[in-house]
Amino acid sequence: MMLEKRPFQPADIPLIKEWLPTLESVVQWGGPFFDYPVTDEALLELIALHAGEEPMRECWMVIDDGDESVGHFQLAFEKRIRGATLGRVLLAPDRRARGLARPLVDLAVAQAFARDWVHRIELRVYDFNTPAIAAYRRAGFVLEGVRRECMPMGDRFWNSAVMGLLRHERP
């Protein structure tokens, strides 16, 4: 199945909210930056960060060859250090475990490296999210370390794995 991307738009907000039905899913997708439940206003603010000719952030919806939204990802760019951060990666709940994670990650990697000055892409993923970690590894990302107990979740803490991909390592 071929995947394509298009800019994240206000019309996508209800779908993203539907894909994030629990506090845990919101934290897993948005980290500490979103309250539960996610509000329209918070997602509109996210879209506003991605405006302009060459924004330092880009927010994308991923669509399948039937023009159905199946995922989402965000890129943040830091030209000074020649880096990009991949974040807020999300597959539609009914599309998980169907082989779409790797093509979605490949799409995001291609978008980041389309800026010829990007040398490195990094991401953070909670270490219990083994399907995502496997997809990132298949796309060439290398585990660089673990941020221990960095995200409070109720009476426990989640660990966050840091992964990176250098331009010359891209499969």
> Residue 12 to residues 63, 87, 107: CA-CA distances in angstroms?
12, 17, 19
pLDDT tens for residues 29-84? 988 889 999 999 999 998 998 887 888 899 999 999 989 999 999 999 999 999 99
Q: Rounded distance, CA 43 to CA 101, Å?
A: 23
Domain coordinates of the chain in residue numbers? 4-121
Q: Give the predicted TM-score (pTM) of the model.
A: 0.94
Structural fold of domain 4-121: Aminopeptidase (3.40.630)
pLDDT digits (tens, 9 = 90+) for 125-160: 999 999 999 999 999 999 999 999 999 998 999 999
Confidence at residue 50, expressed as pLDDT on a 0 to 100 scale: 83
The CA-CA-CA angle for residues 17, 156, 72, to 5°, reads: 25
